[in-house]
Amino acid sequence: MRLTVIGTGYVGAVHAACLADLGHHVLGVDVDADRIAALTDGRPPFFEPGLSDLLNRAVATGRLAFSSSLDEAAGFGDTHFLCVGTPQRPGSDAADLTYVDAAVDALAPYLRGNPRALLVGKSTVPVGTADRLARRLGAEVAWNPEFLREGCAVQDTLCPERIVVGVRSKWAKARLREIYAPLLQAGTPFIATDLPTAELVKLASNSFLATKVSFINAMSEICEAAGADVLTLAEAMGRDSRIGPRFLAPGLGFGGSCLPKDIRALTARAEELGQGQAVAFLREVDAINARQRTRTLGLAEGLLGGSFADRNVAVLGAAFKPLSDDVRDSPALAVASAVQDRGAHVRVHDPEAIDNARAAYPALQFALDVAKACEHADVVLHLTEWPQYRELDPTALATVVRGPVLVDARNTLDPEPWRAAGWTVRAPGRPGLGR
The string of pLDDT tens digits covering residues 345-372 is: 999 999 999 999 999 999 999 999 999 9
- Side chain identity at residue 429, one-letter code: G
Whole-prediction pTM: 0.94
For residue 342, pLDDT over 70 is answered with yes
Query: Alpha carbon of 372 to those of 258, 346, 348, 359, 369: distances in Å?
Result: 32, 12, 9, 20, 6
Share of the chain above pLDDT 90, in %: 94
Segment among 25-39, 107-121, 166-180, 360-374 with least mean pLDDT? 107-121
Q: Which of 160, 193, 226 delimits the end of a domain?
A: 193
Over residues 317-329, mean pLDDT: 97
pLDDT for residue 434: 54
Structural domains in the chain (count): 3
Which is it for strands 64-67 and 25-29: parallel, antiparallel or unpaired? parallel
Catalytic residue among 83, 223, 258, 374: 258
My answer on whether 46 and 170 are in the same domain is: yes
Question: Same structural domain for residues 88 and 31?
Answer: yes
Angle, helix 259-272 to helix 195-226, in steps of 10 degrees: 120
pLDDT exceeds cutoff 50 at 285 = yes
φ, ψ for residue 405, nearest 5 deg? -125, 125
CB 408 within 8 A of CB 300: no
> Rounded to an integer, what is the distance from CA 412 to the centroid of its chain?
19
Q: Are residue 175 and residue 26 in the same domain, yes or no? A: yes
Task: Based on the fold, state whether residues 304 and 415 are members of the same structural domain.
Answer: yes
Give the range among 67-81, 228-242, 369-383, 392-406 with minimum mean pLDDT.
Answer: 67-81
Q: Are residues 169 and 244 in the same domain?
A: no
Average pLDDT estimate for 387-401: 97
Does residue 379 register a pLDDT over 50? Answer: yes
Same domain, 35 and 150: yes
Instruction: Give pLDDT tens digits for 87-134.
Output: 999 999 999 999 999 999 999 998 888 889 999 999 999 999 999 999
Residue 160 sits in the same domain as residue 211: no
Residue 149 to residue 157: CA distance in whole angstroms: 10
Report d(CA 131, CA 219) in Å as an integer: 41
Point out the domain boundary residue: 286, 306, 325: 286
Is 258 annotated in the active site?
Answer: yes
* Same domain? 183 vs 140: yes
Q: In this structure, are residues 111 and 119 in contact, taking their beta carbons and an 8 Å threshold? A: yes
Rounded average pLDDT over 202-210: 97
Residues 273 and 176 in one domain: no
Q: Is residue 355 part of a domain?
A: yes
Residue 141 lies in a domain: yes
Q: Which of 286, 321, 343 is the last residue of a domain?
A: 286
Is 198 among the domain residues? Answer: no
420 and 325 in a single domain? The answer is: yes
Whether residues 176 and 56 fall in one domain: yes
Domain encompassing residue 210:
203-286
Which region among 65-74, 195-204, 249-258 has the lowest average model confidence (pLDDT)?
65-74
Q: What was the pLDDT predicted at 435?
A: 42
What CATH number has the domain bearing residue 343? 3.40.50.720
Let me know whether 166 and 233 are in one domain.
no
